Amino acid sequence: MTTIAATGVFRVSWLLLAFPLFGAAVLLIGGRRTDKWGHLLAVLMSLASFVYGMIAFFTLLSQTGAGRSQDLHVYSWIPVDGFQANIGILIDPLSVSFVLLITGVGSLIHIYSVGYMAHDPEKRRFFAYLNLFIAAMLLLVLSDNFLSLYAGWEGVGLASYLLIGFWQFKPTAAVAAKKAFIANRVGDVGLSLAIMLMFAEFGTFNFTGVFDSTKAGGSGVATALGLLLLLAACGKSAQVPLQSWLLDAMEGPTPVSALIHAATMVTAGVYLIVRSNPIFNDAPTAQLAVTVVGAVTLLFGAIIGCAKDDLKKALAGSTMSQIGYMILAAGLGPAGYVFAIAHLLAHGFFKAGLFLGAGSVMHGVDDEVNMRRMGGLRKLLPITFATFGLGYLAIIGIPPFSGFFTKDGIIDAAWSKGGTDGWILAACTIIGAAITAFYMTRVMLMTWYGSKRFEEDGVLGGAGAHPAYTEPHIPHPHESPLTMTVPMILLAIGSVAAGGFLIINERLQNFLQPVIGAPFPDHGIWSWPGIIALVLVVLGVGVAWAMYGRMPVLAVAPRGSVLTRAARADLYGDAFNESVLMRPGQWLTRLSVFFDSRGVDGLVNGLAATIGGTSGRLRKVQNGFVRSYALSMLIGAVLLVAGLLVVRL
């Protein structure tokens, strides 16, 4: 792929970053003075980025060949001889796809938040962080080199931390924010090491420079880079083994869960792998690791999603699982990249829609998140129900909704890989699809159907609960205001149409072809693995209906099987981290402290005490009596003379 210097409208592509950054700066520096209109400015800045993104997209469509990849040099960050760190903006089909997702879904969620956060006293700060996030995420996907990508990567991590802990007066939220931050740091170490390795091996970290040198660098370097980038992706995208933070991240306000922890930031890992496709294409071992991580996570997340009674956590398990699909697809090489991105974009629509629906439900039932206290809401929140339902159909992959096309593509690509690993991967994706159908149907039935359990038992309130709602009480569910329902409707339209639009006629594939390499031979929309998956999906829906539709949902969760209890405890992810990493770490710390205080300090202090004690005794010689001094001088002199005599004689 060749890149040319930016021309025409792309010469001002820095505006994309500038709008949200300006919004965040005004809101954060302006302080309380901007309380009245701050949220409107934030929405406006996000929309401005989106409008520019649309212009860039259509301009890019009108270009051909090298014109489809335009690089703008913005700023020489560290211009030292032999070390050129620049901030550059690369507009190409892949980055523009992400720009449209981030600014489009981001703007919708900004608008939604105007309604959702209307009564929050800290609304301005919330919108400032949201704008900060948009700016950092755009820097991540628009960078033309790994170093400024890393800056954006850390920026979204910071925004994620700030927004998970937005209600920091709740200890759980503060702890969840810290946990997300620390788990992300582990992955970030991978990315920073990868960048250092690139610079050491290739002397550059520009995309073009690195990708051109990868082939010459040998497979060892490519494999190391691939594994380090995979570690980075695991941290940011909540993949096993760094998955544990995502479920706790649901402590943040629901729009944050929708934007950062479902639609955009958590997919940054997929972006990283697809963007680095020349590295992974040269490193089959790293690709295998990527597919394994994806396959494990897609089952891991799906199993967790089956047991959670917390509406948002069930959706968070689902997010992990769906990103597992994308990572798996990205690990399949050129055959899978397009489906990874297609599923990512479609997932951005339907999962954001589902989360916004969840937020709307929570709005209706006084911030309750426990689905066992919901039920029968479909008549009370009809618009939310309709949009949530369309998102549901999209995620389980019923044709002709989005998920069918994109997930089917992934299953098909895994199947086409061939060999034993292809079989296993395809089996994982198909089983994952069935489990997805089960847990999403469970969520649907528990939330929208059945008896109105909130009228019998009342609700308690959960994440972000208003202080007044800590006692059980009967809520009066109502449909949310227009600012919330309109974004949900638009996202629902995306959930319905995006997948088909992107996959049919290979639109996305042709568009992304310059970035992701040779096109993949077409298998058609229907394939045998896809049909098997569809049958299992229907089966999953049936099982869920038998368990939660036909029989009443208990207000208190039954004890459940071993697997259910394990899934409720996040498959012991936290317990694993605690016993394998935290406790040995604590022991190591204690051992070091012991060695330091007893060993090192003991030696030094003991030496000092010995010298102190000896001199304490020695100083008694200084008794102040002149005559005793005279005596010692005399004795000394006599001894000297005697000594001299002995030596002489």
Partner 1 sequence: MSPAHYVFLAVILFVIGAVGVLVRRNAILIFMSVELMLNACNLAFVAFARMHGNLDGQVVAFFVMVVAAAEVVVGLAILMAIYRARRSASVDDASLLKY
Binding residues for partner 1 (CB under 8 A): 619-620, 622-627, 630-631, 634
Which of residues 531 and 631 has its CB atom nearest to partner 1 in the complex?
A: 631
Which of residues 119 and 620 has its CB atom nearest to partner 1 in the complex?
A: 620
In the complex, least distance from residue 604 CB atom to partner 1, rounded to whole angstroms:
26
In the complex, least distance from residue 619 CB atom to partner 1, rounded to whole angstroms:
4
CA-closest candidate to residue 437, choices 566, 564, 538, 552: 538
Calculate the alpha carbon distances from 403 to 164, 416, 474 in Å: 28, 19, 37
CA-closest candidate to residue 108, choices 419, 387, 444, 505: 387
Which of residues 546 and 630 has its CB atom nearest to partner 1 in the complex?
A: 630
Which of residues 75 and 629 has its CB atom nearest to partner 1 in the complex?
A: 629
Report CA 268 to chain centroid distance, whole Å.
Answer: 7
Report CA 301 to chain centroid distance, whole Å.
Answer: 14
- The answer to whether the beta carbons of residues 353 and 346 sit under 8 Å apart is no
Structure tokens at 29: 């520096």
Structure tokens at 395: 């995620």
In the complex, least distance from residue 634 CB atom to partner 1, rounded to whole angstroms:
6
Which of residues 604 and 638 has its CB atom nearest to partner 1 in the complex?
A: 638
Which of residues 550 and 619 has its CB atom nearest to partner 1 in the complex?
A: 619
- The answer to whether the beta carbons of residues 249 and 180 sit under 8 Å apart is yes
Give exposure, 263-300, as e/b (b: 16+ Cβ within 10 Å): bbbbbbbbbbbbbbbbbbbbbeebbebbbbbbbbbbbb
**What is the spatial distance between Cα 486 and Cα 7, in angstroms, rounded to a whole number?**
36
In the complex, least distance from residue 641 CB atom to partner 1, rounded to whole angstroms:
12
Burial of 468 (0-12, 13-18, 19+ CB in 10 A): exposed
In the complex, least distance from residue 605 CB atom to partner 1, rounded to whole angstroms:
24
Report CA 618 to chain centroid distance, whole Å.
Answer: 68
In the complex, least distance from residue 612 CB atom to partner 1, rounded to whole angstroms:
14
Which of residues 451 and 614 has its CB atom nearest to partner 1 in the complex?
A: 614
Secondary structure (H, E, C), 164-187? HCCCCCCHHHHHHHHHHHHHHHHH
- List, as own/partner pairs, every contact residues 549-553 make where C-beta atoms lie below 8 angstroms and the sequence separation is at least 24, other chains included: 549/441, 549/445, 549/449, 549/450, 552/450, 552/451, 553/371, 553/372, 553/375, 553/445, 553/446, 553/450, 553/453
Which of residues 550 and 620 has its CB atom nearest to partner 1 in the complex?
A: 620
CA-closest candidate to residue 126, choices 45, 49, 35, 15: 35
**What is the spatial distance between Cα 513 and Cα 525, in angstroms, rounded to a whole number?**
19
CA-closest candidate to residue 518, choices 528, 526, 506: 506
Which of residues 482 and 631 has its CB atom nearest to partner 1 in the complex?
A: 631
CA-closest candidate to residue 405, choices 490, 507, 296, 492: 507
The residues, ordered by sequence, that sit 6+ positions from 639 with a Cβ below 8 Å of its Cβ are none
- The answer to whether the beta carbons of residues 68 and 56 sit under 8 Å apart is no
Calculate the alpha carbon distances from 39 to 32, 114, 333 in Å: 12, 7, 42
- The amino acid that residue 347 corresponds to is H
Report CA 82 to chain centroid distance, whole Å.
Answer: 34
Structure tokens at 44: 């406006």
In the complex, least distance from residue 637 CB atom to partner 1, rounded to whole angstroms:
10
- The answer to whether the beta carbons of residues 12 and 75 sit under 8 Å apart is no
In the complex, least distance from residue 178 CB atom to partner 1, rounded to whole angstroms:
57
In the complex, least distance from residue 626 CB atom to partner 1, rounded to whole angstroms:
5
**What is the spatial distance between Cα 407 and Cα 426, in angstroms, rounded to a whole number?**
11
In the complex, least distance from residue 616 CB atom to partner 1, rounded to whole angstroms:
9
In the complex, least distance from residue 583 CB atom to partner 1, rounded to whole angstroms:
53
In the complex, least distance from residue 649 CB atom to partner 1, rounded to whole angstroms:
18
Which of residues 563 and 637 has its CB atom nearest to partner 1 in the complex?
A: 637
| DSSP assignment string, 474-540 | -----PPPHHHHHHHHHHHHHHHHHHHHHHGGGHHHHHHHHHH-SPPPP--S--HHHHHHHHHHHHH
Which of residues 474 and 639 has its CB atom nearest to partner 1 in the complex?
A: 639
Which of residues 535 and 641 has its CB atom nearest to partner 1 in the complex?
A: 641
Which of residues 559 and 627 has its CB atom nearest to partner 1 in the complex?
A: 627
**What is the spatial distance between Cα 201 and Cα 322, in angstroms, rounded to a whole number?**
35
CA-closest candidate to residue 304, choices 194, 402, 439: 439
In the complex, least distance from residue 613 CB atom to partner 1, rounded to whole angstroms:
14
In the complex, least distance from residue 610 CB atom to partner 1, rounded to whole angstroms:
19
Which of residues 36 and 619 has its CB atom nearest to partner 1 in the complex?
A: 619
In the complex, least distance from residue 645 CB atom to partner 1, rounded to whole angstroms:
14
SS3 121: coil
In the complex, least distance from residue 627 CB atom to partner 1, rounded to whole angstroms:
6
Which of residues 593 and 630 has its CB atom nearest to partner 1 in the complex?
A: 630
Which of residues 121 and 616 has its CB atom nearest to partner 1 in the complex?
A: 616
